[in-house]
Structure 1
Amino acid sequence: MVGGFLGAGKTTAIQSLAQHLTDTGQRVGLICNDQSTGLVDTALLRSKGFSVEEITGGCFCCRFDSLLKAAQNLTSESAPDLFLAEPVGSCTDLVATVSYPLRRIYGDRFSVAPLSVVVDPGRAARIFGLTQGGHFSEKVTYVYRKQLEEADLIVVNKCDASPPEMLDRVVLSINENFPHAKTFVCSAKYGTNLEPWFKSLLSEEVLASRSLEINYDTYAEGEALLGWLNCTVRLETDQPFDGNRSLLALVDDIRNRVVNQGGRIAH
């Protein structure tokens, strides 16, 4: 599984990993997960030619039977050598509720790789108090930190868009707060420094050595504080227009309106 908070770059990282595996002659099955249907991630990954199943209406830990069914569907369709799964960006406690059960059920047929958690360094810098800027509430921050606490591999993404000195401070804070995890710095978008993460992910197996202590009331309240918009919009005009520019302008306008109301955009 490749987890991480909303907007960290999980889908891009999984796409890069899946392409790497495909290039080495291995068959890959992808499983996407979110709170609603019609996932953009699923459409994006299918457009790249990958076999993809999606689980909607809840995270893997709440839809474990659906996860097993998705894996069975992929096995029937393309007989993958590896499964890559992307949980909801607000999900945590994945090792206890997903990795260990999978290991018990499929341990004789598959190895369960270490849990990777992808990190946006800009957001991490604000969470750790390294930079100024908008902050999440205490309970949303609780979910964020718990994701890092259970990670075996922490992937600091978007190194192409972050000043080196800030990256160094973020990595130092991660290593100080979560010394059990291996930390990697990369850019999934541009393929920079991905090989060390790939090598570690594919050569190790999850071990039943740590369990996450989590307050499920705080976790549930943190998730509930996140608002979700699920919609499909079609833009039409009689005149030619730059779709990318229009979408960026729309996103900027939405973000500014939310910030002016005291909110924060997670993704």
Structure 2
Amino acid sequence: MKLFAPKQAVKTHIISGFLGAGKTTLLQHLLAQKPEHETWAVLMNEFGQIGVDQQMLPQQQGYEVKELLGGCLCCTSQLPMQIALSRLIQDTQPDRLFIEPTGLGHPAQLLEQLTEPHWQSQINMRALITVIDGSRLHDHEWTAQNLYQDQIKAAQIAVISHADQMQDADELALSTLKNEYIAYVQKWLKSEHGLLDLQEIDLDYHGIKRNIQPLITVQKSLNQQEPMPEVKQLPYHYVETAQGYTVAGWKFSKRWQFDFYELLDVLCELQNWVRIKGIFNTNQGWMTFNFNPDQFNYKSGDENIDNRIEVITQHEHDWYTLETQILKCRINEA
């Protein structure tokens, strides 16, 4: 597909967020700040086949709104999204572009697509925004969902919506949330009724480089002259750095089962970390681990799509030793 470059790369904002977080309300208020001499464009994605959100946006001159219906532009075939986006930019030549994925979307995957080299002449990517409903932060069943957490992890800016409806429990949960995502979110903002100054979110995008590789034990077995195999499926190990923090993570097949008490011992004996979060299929059932230096919390949880663990630290670590210890806790060969 041939891409047509506009006269100048378009400032592009991705506004993500879980269902009902307030993305469209925020977008409405941002669009109201358009200078008269500029043209702005919006690309919206709804999971269903009937578009509703588009009708809530300004329809007057100076705006161009395009909807993609059915499925998620973050996860499904990239071609329809790329065609729609390229045509929108080519036909409209906007000064600024907003992309609102469905609340069921994975913004990190969309961001990965739009920061590929062939888009650089068209798109000037701004900081990715995730809108979080502040009035529901106390609801653990809501905040514990993997998709919800993945959307926050992808954010450079987190906008707390419905700030006027937050209770004391929500404020406490927000403080905990900031600590949990200290290595990811670079800026936290509160918004009442969707009100937010465009200048507060018009920041350069700074990506977090994630280096996904085979398990370290596999890497150790390779000859130094051998190329590193491409990782296309579980299990794998990754490391990423941002804001002076290192995040080391592992993902294993959900069929792998681990000895709960042996795994707990490994995690409790680890030193010099800021956060440890994990979900494991154990001989005691599926267990979630959420450690901070003051509390070692673990409890039974729902079945997950995989086994996973992340360790956030500001210190050097021997990740090979930790991986070896975790793998020794495995009790099946399935």
- With the shorter chain as reference, the TM-score category is 0.5 to 0.7
Give 1:85 deviation, angstroms: 0.6
Give 1:9 deviation, angstroms: 0.3
2:132–2:161 Cα contact (<8 Å) kept:
yes
Cα distance in 1, alignment partners of residues 73 and 250 from structure 2: 17
Q: Note closer, same or farther for the CA distance 1:9–1:216 as it changes in structure 2 (3 Å cut).
A: farther
Give 1:149 deviation, angstroms: 1.6
165, 186, 191: which one aligns with 2:191:
186
Alignment of 1:34-113 (within 5 A): 34-47=46-59, 50-61=63-74, 62-92=76-106, 94-95=107-108, 97-103=109-115, 104-113=117-126
Q: Deviations along 1:23-67, whole A, 9 cap, x unmatched?
A: 374321101111222211012125466311111121112142222
Q: Deviations along 1:179-228, whole A, 9 cap, x unmatched?
A: 13121111244x2xx12xx324313123243479797999xx999xxxxx
Aligned to 1:161: 165
Q: CA RMSD in A?
A: 3.0
Q: How many residues align?
A: 203
List alignment gaps of at least 5 residues for structure 1: 128-134, 224-267
Q: Does 1:205 align with 2:218?
A: no
Runs of 4+ aligned residues of structure 1 deviating over 6 Å after TM superposition are 211-218
Task: Compute the TM-score of the two structures, normalised by the length of structure 1.
Answer: 0.66
Give 1:137 deviation, angstroms: 9.9
Cα distance in 2, alignment partners of residues 200 and 90 from structure 1: 25
Q: Note closer, same or farther for the CA distance 1:207–1:136 as it changes in structure 2 (3 Å cut).
A: closer
Q: Deviations along 1:93-113, whole A, 9 cap, x unmatched?
A: x22x22233222221332111
Cα distance in 2, alignment partners of residues 55 and 216 from structure 1: 34
Greater share of helix: 1
List alignment gaps of at least 5 residues for structure 2: 1-13, 212-239, 241-248, 255-302, 306-334
2:128–2:205 Cα contact (<8 Å) kept:
no
2:64–2:92 Cα contact (<8 Å) kept:
yes
Alignment of 1:171-250 (within 5 A): 171-179=174-182, 180-181=184-185, 182-189=187-194, 191=195, 194-195=196-197, 198-210=198-210
2:136–2:142 Cα contact (<8 Å) kept:
no
The one-letter code of the counterpart of 1:115 is L
**What secondary structure sits across from 1:203 in the alignment?**
coil
Q: Note closer, same or farther for the CA distance 1:31–1:109 as it changes in structure 2 (3 Å cut).
A: closer
The one-letter code of the counterpart of 2:159 is V
Give 1:145 deviation, angstroms: 1.3
2:137–2:143 Cα contact (<8 Å) kept:
no
Give 1:125 deviation, angstroms: 1.9
**What secondary structure sits across from 2:121 in the alignment?**
coil
Aligned to 2:138: 125
Cα distance in 1, alignment partners of residues 48 and 250 from structure 2: 25
Give the % identical residues.
Answer: 21
Q: Does 1:28 align with 2:40?
A: yes
Greater share of strand: 2
Cα distance in 2, alignment partners of residues 222 and 18 from structure 1: 39
2:137–2:174 Cα contact (<8 Å) kept:
no
Radius of gyration: which is bigger? Answer: 2
1:16–1:188 Cα contact (<8 Å) kept:
no
Q: Note closer, same or farther for the CA distance 1:71–1:171 as it changes in structure 2 (3 Å cut).
A: same
2:18–2:148 Cα contact (<8 Å) kept:
yes
**What secondary structure sits across from 1:111 in the alignment?**
strand
**What secondary structure sits across from 1:42 in the alignment?**
helix
The one-letter code of the counterpart of 1:174 is L
Cα distance in 2, alignment partners of residues 214 and 18 from structure 1: 40
Task: Compute the TM-score of the two structures, normalised by the length of structure 2.
Answer: 0.54
Cα distance in 2, alignment partners of residues 136 and 159 from structure 1: 17
1:100–1:208 Cα contact (<8 Å) kept:
no
Q: Note closer, same or farther for the CA distance 1:153–1:137 as it changes in structure 2 (3 Å cut).
A: closer
Q: Note closer, same or farther for the CA distance 1:65–1:201 as it changes in structure 2 (3 Å cut).
A: farther
